[in-house]
Chains A and B, each alone.
Chain A
Amino acid sequence: DTEVTQTPKHLVMGMTNKKSLKCEQHMGHRAMYWYKQKAKKPPELMFVYSYEKLSINESVPSRFSPECPNSSLLNLHLHALQPEDSALYLCASSQDRETSSTDTQYFGPGTRLTVL
């Protein structure tokens, strides 16, 4: 089973709201990722967690706050977002490069976020 799940599928929020995106995988993967994707563009890396520790932050604004409560879960907390943050937010997971020289990412279906 190569399934990554994400909730919610769609989210509309105002600029003063606080919301969270959730991601879950049960493949035993130890690396998890958040990507942001705008229309007609490739996914853009935001954060990487490896063994539940934040290993990469691609200079993402602090209004995005990731959290990895355990090896299966990944959250993205949103606060005071801007309309230009509207996008598809994709979660992905992979085994982790330290244990697999040919690592492969599997993506969840994404959360389509609209900021009003």
Chain B
Amino acid sequence: RKEVEQDPGPFNVPEGATVAFNCTYSNSASQSFFWYRQDCRKEPKLLMSVYSSGNEDGRFTAQLNRASQYISLLIRDSKLSDSATYLCVVMGYNFNKFYFGSGTKLNVKP
């Protein structure tokens, strides 16, 4: 079983739509959780860390459910510029080891 699992998509949505991605992780001892955004042929960039209490940054909301071992990312009012691959990343209990989901591709259409 993979450490982190994501729906690869693609998710094709119109501008202005709300879209949600989920990610599950297998190790209950995992410590920290993140969403990264990666544009084509670029490096992953940190979108937001995910906290147990949930956190919001503008149009983006991240949630962590430790009991069910999943993480979610909600994007409201999608923009064309949101088109990218979104990577779910989990920092394991193992020292300095980060586990990546396969990424979810989002295409926002005009």
Interface residues of A (CB under 8 A from B): 31, 33, 41-43, 45, 48, 50, 55-56, 88, 90, 94, 96-97, 101-110, 112
On chain A, the residues within 8 Å of B22 by CB distance are: none
Please measure, in the bound complex, the distance between the C-alpha atom of A105 and the C-alpha atom of B47, giving whole angstroms.
11
> Interface size (B, Cβ < 8 Å)?
21
Beta-carbon contact of A104 and B34 below 8 Å: yes
Complex Cα distance, B43 from A110, in Å, reads 6
A-B contact pairs, 11 of them (CB 8 A): A31-B96, A42-B87, A42-B101, A94-B96, A101-B31, A101-B32, A103-B96, A104-B34, A104-B46, A105-B46, A107-B45
| Contact among A43, A45, A101, A112 for B97, CB-based, below 8 A | A45
Interface contact B96-A96, CB-CB below 8 Å:
yes
A102 in contact with B32 (CB, 8 Å): yes
Q: How many A-B pairs with Cβ below 8 Å?
A: 57
Asked, given contacts A94-B96, A96-B96, whether A104 binds B45 with beta carbons under 8 Å apart, the answer is: no
A42 close to B49 (CB less than 8 A): no
Residues of B that sit less than 8 Å from A by CB: 31-32, 34, 41-46, 49, 87, 89, 91, 95-98, 100-103
Q: In the complex, how many angstroms separate the beta carbon of A3 from the nearest chain B beta carbon? A: 11
Name the contact of A107 in the complex, choosing from B41, B44, B103 (C-beta under 8 A).
B44
Structural contact, A42 and B32, CB atoms closer than 8 A? no
B96 touches A42 (CB 8 A): no
Closest 5 CB pairs of A and B: A42-B100, A107-B43, A31-B96, A102-B32, A48-B96
A97 / chain B contacts, CB cutoff of 8 Å: 31, 91, 95-96
- In the complex, which residues of chain B have a beta carbon less than 8 angstroms from the beta carbon of A108? 43
